[in-house]
């Protein structure tokens, strides 16, 4: 929640310079918010990609499938981007933060002073770290360029091995199957998306992918990759077996881009640590999006969220905080994934200790699972149940007691719980 400015909050001077590092979704929202909140000073957005701020979810879905143009992902229409009257330093990499001098140094040596700095540097796709990885071509999926380079592989007659059965791996698998490629997913854990969903959802995902002809290998660790004889690549597994394929995709997680912050001596722990006003351990530096690790009251600990919703909302919150407005950012985690026409949404943090109350069953096309602590809904997961999930979200936010029997009764609409 973002509250109104406290009485007497000092407005930031129009002579001030605010610099945003990272022209992704969080950075784009921070820029937009600074202007919409009335900041009239110098605003500089620095990004090391060749594109204006864009949203990444379509990269594993419509853009990867060739059904949407890369420019459709841009966060701002060109006129709206122009209207922000900011300097956009495109294809520019910030190499160092000199906190003493309140100055940034670019990789080409150029320097830029700031009064307030917002770090929205996101993360990079983790690459495979097995023998042969440095000599065998493989794909990751984080940028528009990554999606455009992988897309031609997704067609009948091509075989793809996806390493990692997490969200990116599974969405690539679904898109690849839809485009007619032969797909194998190799997952080291004993179930899919093990880090983020309970076993019943992993089972549902396994069934869904199996039903669409994706081969899923669980508990399978890769030990090496290599180039084969016939232009194919070869993936070797820990049990000695091998998989030949036309393309390897690594969907093995994200490494937060926090090196800039770490080198500048900011507190970091698997990302840049911020407080609930998005402020780092330096009062003039803020962070938002995939790179930020923030206290989360819903989790009772610090969390780094990798989600579209958080990139937007925390970007907005960090911009407001940089302007001196009162901010208390305490997001209820929310994430969605689209696979084979199934829209899965996860709200809150389901825990093994929760009691599961089901509306529908996970073997059906549409269901909602609510995760209760006592009689209070703490989390919900819905498949093709966006409307019900919105009501579940409200129950979670209101921490309202429910009657579990009524909750399970499909005859009682979620709106009446």
Q: Which residue is nearest to ligand FAD (CB)?
A: 24
Is the distance from CB of 19 to CB of 284 less than 8 angstroms?
no
For the CB of residue 321, give the shortest distance to ligand FAD in the complex, in Å: 16
- Residue whose CB is less far from ligand FAD, 221 or 390: 390
Among the listed residues 18, 254, 37, 270, the one whose alpha carbon sits nearest the alpha carbon of residue 119: 18
CA atoms of 228 and 163, how far apart (whole Å)? 18
CA atoms of 367 and 384, how far apart (whole Å)? 7
Joined tokens for residue 84:
């922000």
Indicate whether 60 belongs to the interface with ligand FAD (CB under 6 A). yes
CA 180 to chain centre: 27
CA atoms of 139 and 150, how far apart (whole Å)? 7
Find the binder of ligand FAD among 293, 311, 344, 383 (CB under 6 A).
311
Indicate whether 52 belongs to the interface with ligand FAD (CB under 6 A). no
Q: Are strands 103-106 and 111-113 parallel, antiparallel or unpaired?
A: antiparallel
For the CB of residue 94, give the shortest distance to ligand FAD in the complex, in Å: 4
Indicate whether 48 belongs to the interface with ligand FAD (CB under 6 A). yes
- Return the range that interacts with ligand FAD (CB under 6 A); candidates 24-32, 75-83, 221-229, 401-409: 24-32
For the CB of residue 287, give the shortest distance to ligand FAD in the complex, in Å: 9
Kindly state the DSSP code that residue 50 receives in the 8-state scheme: S
Joined tokens for residue 221:
């660790």
For the CB of residue 49, give the shortest distance to ligand FAD in the complex, in Å: 4
Joined tokens for residue 184:
């194998």
Find the binder of ligand FAD among 140, 337, 339, 345 (CB under 6 A).
337
- Residue whose CB is less far from ligand FAD, 23 or 385: 23
Indicate whether 393 belongs to the interface with ligand FAD (CB under 6 A). no
Joined tokens for residue 225:
């990759």
For the CB of residue 28, give the shortest distance to ligand FAD in the complex, in Å: 7
- Residue whose CB is less far from ligand FAD, 39 or 54: 54
CA 142 to chain centre: 10
Indicate whether 119 belongs to the interface with ligand FAD (CB under 6 A). no
Alpha helices (H) in 196-307, listed in sequence order: 199-211, 259-263
Place of tokens 């669409």: 212
**String marking each residue 283-302 x if it binds ligand FAD according to CB under 6 A:** ------xx------------
Find the binder of ligand FAD among 120, 377, 385, 389 (CB under 6 A).
120
Is the distance from CB of 328 to CB of 311 less than 8 angstroms?
no
For the CB of residue 211, give the shortest distance to ligand FAD in the complex, in Å: 21
Joined tokens for residue 368:
């909602």
CA atoms of 351 and 22, how far apart (whole Å)? 33
Indicate whether 258 belongs to the interface with ligand FAD (CB under 6 A). no
**Which residues sit at the interface with ligand FAD, rule CB under 6 A?**
21-27, 46-49, 56-57, 59-60, 93-94, 120-123, 141-142, 168, 257, 260, 289-290, 306-309, 311, 335-337
């Amino acid at each position: 929640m973002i509250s109104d400015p406290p009485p007497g909050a000092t407005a930031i001077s129009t002579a001030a310079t605010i610099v945003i590092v990272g022209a992704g979704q969080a950075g784009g929202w921070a820029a937009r918010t600074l202007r919409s909140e009335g900041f009239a000073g110098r605003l500089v957005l620095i990004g090391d990609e060749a594109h204006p701020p864009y949203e990444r979810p379509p990269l594993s879905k419509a853009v990867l499938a060739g059904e949407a143009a890369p420019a459709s992902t841009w966060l701002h229409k060109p006129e709206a981007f122009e209207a922000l009257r900011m300097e956009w330093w495109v294809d520019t990499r910030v190499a160092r933060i000199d906190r003493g001098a309140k100055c940034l140094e670019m990789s080409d040596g150029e320097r830029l002073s700031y009064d307030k700095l917002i770090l929205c540097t996101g993360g990079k796709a983790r690459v495979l770290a097995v023998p042969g990885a440095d000599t065998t071509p493989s794909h990751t999926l984080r940028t528009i360029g990554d999606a455009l380079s992988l897309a031609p592989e997704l067609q009948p007659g091509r075989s793809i091995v996806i390493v990692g059965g997490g969200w990116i791996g599974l969405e690539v698998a679904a898109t690849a199957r839809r485009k007619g490629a032969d797909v194998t997913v190799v997952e080291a854990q004993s179930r899919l998306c093990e880090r983020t969903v309970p076993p019943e959802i992993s089972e549902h995902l396994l069934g869904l992918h199996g039903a669409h002809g994706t081969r899923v290998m669980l508990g399978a660790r890769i030990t090496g990759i290599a180039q084969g004889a016939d232009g194919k690549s070869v993936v070797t597994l820990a049990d000695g077996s091998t998989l030949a394929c036309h393309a390897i995709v690594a969907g093995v997680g994200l490494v937060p881009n926090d090196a800039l912050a770490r080198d500048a001596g900011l507190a970091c722990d698997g990302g840049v640590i911020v407080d609930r006003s998005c402020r780092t351990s330096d009062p003039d530096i803020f962070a938002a999006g995939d790179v930020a690790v923030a206290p989360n009251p819903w989790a009772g600990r610090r969390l780094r969220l990798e989600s579209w919703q958080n990139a937007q909302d925390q970007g907005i919150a960090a911009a407001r905080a940089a302007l001196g407005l009162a901010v208390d950012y305490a997001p209820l985690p929310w994430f969605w994934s689209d696979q084979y026409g199934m829209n899965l949404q996860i709200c809150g943090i389901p825990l093994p200790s929760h009691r599961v109350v089901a509306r529908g069953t996970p073997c059906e096309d549409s269901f909602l699972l609510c995760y209760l602590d006592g009689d209070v809904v703490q989390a919900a997961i819905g498949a093709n149940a966006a409307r019900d999930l919105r009501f579940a979200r409200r129950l979670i936010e209101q921490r309202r007691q429910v009657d579990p029997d009524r909750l399970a009764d499909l005859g009682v609409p979620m709106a009446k719980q």
